[in-house]
Structure 1
């Protein structure tokens, strides 16, 4: 894709003696939301972690803005404008919400307009700003995890199952926040099992199975074809 912010080309990743990713190739278009879908254990989280340098690719290229970052350490990759929101949230429970946010803002204090965007998206974070993050509810911790990635202006967000275990109202808040990031020009690569959220946010989709990309296309094409969903993922993902 000519205007891809991220391109994986024949990427293979091993974890210990296990071969997890096999010849993975797909593009993430600039300024769009790409959903990475598939069954549990398909390799989706490993793909995000490989892009961020948390797992080293054994083979292939991870091209970000035309530069191969596959062999670079996570800190250097982050400074290029990438951020990851891991499935386990990655927050520090003993630190306050404010301290968690400060740690995420590596370039200095969070800009006032950025902080206002975060508080607009996630009002509880303002309410509990000076409280230990460990005291937050599960949904509020997920808000904090996403807000940490939003602390600075990033070009690409890697987000792993942000809606997992959350109430519908909080999922709607997350959808609004992601749309705000996209509206500001950011690109997003998201792993998500909630198909309603995937359909609401996604412009494009890549489907994984057994560590391989088995289909790429528009989110609308996948969402409107239940037979394709069943063929790719073994189930229909229709949403009432």
Structure 2
């Protein structure tokens, strides 16, 4: 693979006394969706948080667009064009949807054209624009969380389990938004437990086990091989 947007080489991350990432090697192709898969607790969320800088890599290197960012603070990584959607959503419950979006547009006021585009991708945002975020439903909060990362155009999005616990209609909206990001040329590294979503959205896949990447390849190859799924993750996608 030539010119990946993101490359991790031998990345180790400790959290307290625990050695979570144990030499992660990962390339994220430019302009596609890479699924980061694996059993619970193998290090997927820690990988995303290490890339954005919430956790500091103990050793190894992280390169984004060819530049090493391993030691950069979180704001510098965001300004460089990396968006992050945490599993816990990361919204401000006491602020309105509009205020949440305004804060997310770090380089200045939210561009009206970008706002209107987000309204087409996430129609409920328009309806609840002046409502406090804390009053939204779980699915609406997740939409707002992803929309915040999309407030400005970014070249790489790190998204942690965006469809967890959501109704099928909301999942469909989420998937449509991610397809639109991909259509615009963005690269996405996506942690997702919903295998139907992973199969539908993923171009490539990386499977983690015990803090390491143990398999990489085409998402279609993994989705079409039940034996490989069982060997890597202990389950079959067709059963989910």
Structure 2: distance between partners of 1:40 and 1:103: 32
Deviation readout 1:79-137 (Å, 9 max, x if unpaired): 00001000000001000000000010001122222112211111111101001000000
Under a length normalisation based on structure 1, what TM-score does the superposition of the two structures give?
0.98
Match of 1:48 in 2: 48
Moved more, 88-97 or 103-112: 103-112
- 1:68 maps to 68
SS at match of 1:164: coil
Rounded Cα–Cα distance in structure 2 between residues aligned with 1:105 and 1:70 = 24
- In structure 1, the partner of 2:188 is 188
| Distance (Å, rounded) in 1 between the aligned partners of 2:113 and 2:194 | 30
1:156 pairs with 2:156: yes
Task: State the number of aligned residues.
Answer: 240
Q: Is the 8 A contact 1:23 1:212 kept in 2?
A: yes
Aligned to 1:78: 78
Residues 90 and 145 in structure 1, CA contact (< 8 A), matched pair in contact too: yes
| CA-based RMSD | 0.9
Q: Which residue of 2 aligns with 1:13?
A: 13
Which residue is equivalent to 1:26? 26
- Secondary structure of the 1:102 match is helix
Q: 1:107 and 2:107 equivalent? A: yes
- 2:59 corresponds in structure 1 to 59
> 2:228 matched to 1:228?
yes
Deviation string, structure 1 residues 214-237 (Cα, Å, up to 9, x no partner): 100000000000000000000111
- Residue number in structure 1 paired with 2:212: 212
Post-superposition offset of 1:37: 0.2
Moved over 6 A (4+): none
CA displacement 1:30-76 (0-9 Å, x = unmatched): 00000000000010000000000110001111010111111110000
User: Who is 1:132 aligned against?
Assistant: 132
Cα offset, 1:239, TM superposition:
5.6
- Structure 2 partner of 1:122: 122
Asked whether the 8 Å contact 1:11–1:58 carries over to 2, the reply is yes
The SS at the match of 1:4 is coil
Question: SS at the partner of 1:228?
Answer: helix
Where structure 2 has 5 or more consecutive residues not aligned to the other structure, the ranges are none
Which stretches in structure 1 are left out of the alignment for 5+ residues?
none
What is the DSSP-based 3-state SS (H/G/I as helix, E as strand, rest coil) of the residue aligned with 2:42? coil
